[in-house]
Amino acid sequence: MSRYERTCLIRGDGGRAIRRILDRIGNKWSLLVVATLDDQRMRFTELQQRIPGVSQRMLSLTLRNLERDGLVSRTAYAEVPPRVEYALTDVGRTLIEPAVRLAEWAVEHDPDIERSQRAFDERNK
């Protein structure tokens, strides 16, 4: 039995918790937002500038979902003009270490995966 199967059996949820979390953090932008907010508060515009390619709409949706999940906090200041800052919550900060490990794994093994994909595609032309 794999470690994954043992974890699901212990929780008794058939993998629902893992699927639900991976649906959230496994999307295109969530881990980038979390990693960018590591140990700092940022305004929306700063975040958008630091995450290449993210649209205003997608960043807004991602931040809203991460806030709903309790991974990001949103603080609005009563100033003129209004100021809103985003930061990781305590729970959100616990995601940094596994996210960094996953990013390191991806960078290390990306050439291997690309090689395997090319070999597969050649065999299956």
Please tell me the distance from the alpha carbon of residue 53 to that of residue 91, in angstroms, as a whole number. 26
Q: What is the pLDDT of residues 45-56, one digit of tens each?
A: 999 999 999 999
Nearest Cα to Cα of residue 85 among 35, 44, 33: 44
Tokens matching residue 80: 């003129």
CB 83 within 8 A of CB 43: yes
Residues in the chain: 125
Please tell me the distance from the alpha carbon of residue 67 to that of residue 18, in angstroms, as a whole number. 19
Per-residue confidence band for 34, with pLDDT thresholds at 50, 70 and 90: very high
* Mean pLDDT estimate for the chain: 89
Q: What is the pLDDT of residues 101-118, one digit of tens each?
A: 888 999 999 999 999 999
- pLDDT at residue 37, rounded to an integer: 94
Name all domains of the chain by residue range, CATH numbers in brackets.
25-123 (1.10.10.10)
Q: What is the pLDDT of residues 8-31, one digit of tens each?
A: 666 667 777 777 888 888 888 999
Please tell me the distance from the alpha carbon of residue 87 to that of residue 91, in angstroms, as a whole number. 11
Count CB neighbours of 17 within 10 A. 12
Q: Is 71 exposed, middle or buried (0-12, 13-18, 19+ CB in 10 A)?
A: buried
High-pLDDT (> 70) share of the chain, %:
93
Give strand ranges (E) for 11-115: 42-43, 72-77, 83-88
